[in-house]
Amino acid sequence: MTPTLTDDQISQLYRYVANQGVSYYDVQVELVDHIATEIERQIEQNPEELTEHIFDKILTKFRYYDFEGLENRKKQVQRQYRRFFWRSFTSFLLYPK
């Protein structure tokens, strides 16, 4: 039987992701899904280990690797959209060829 997380544990993961500075809901859902999958996999592999210990271990792992580049990626996407907007705007204002 595959272990599943409770609603309370899922809510805890959403709070954790929001506290890490992820404000977009769709990104939060994806991150919580990845974290929950990893926690469930660890619980299945080590059923004798405490769930709280697995939670702490996995959240520590995600803290160091997954949240570092989110702010840089956000800035890159904003620059890309700004560039696209100005290209579209200037091509609209230019005389037709």
Task: Give CA 27 to chain center in angstroms.
Answer: 5
**Tokens 């990626």 belong to residue:** 73
Residues near 13 by Cβ (< 8 Å), separated by ≥ 6?
A: 5, 32, 35, 36
Output the pLDDT for position 19: 85
Residue 5 structure tokens: 């997380």
Q: What is the pTM of this model?
A: 0.65
Q: What is the pLDDT of residues 4-25, one digit of tens each?
A: 788 898 999 999 888 887 888 8
Q: What is the pLDDT of residues 34-59, one digit of tens each?
A: 889 988 898 888 888 887 888 888 88
Question: In whole numbers, what is the pLDDT of the chain averaged over residues?
Answer: 83
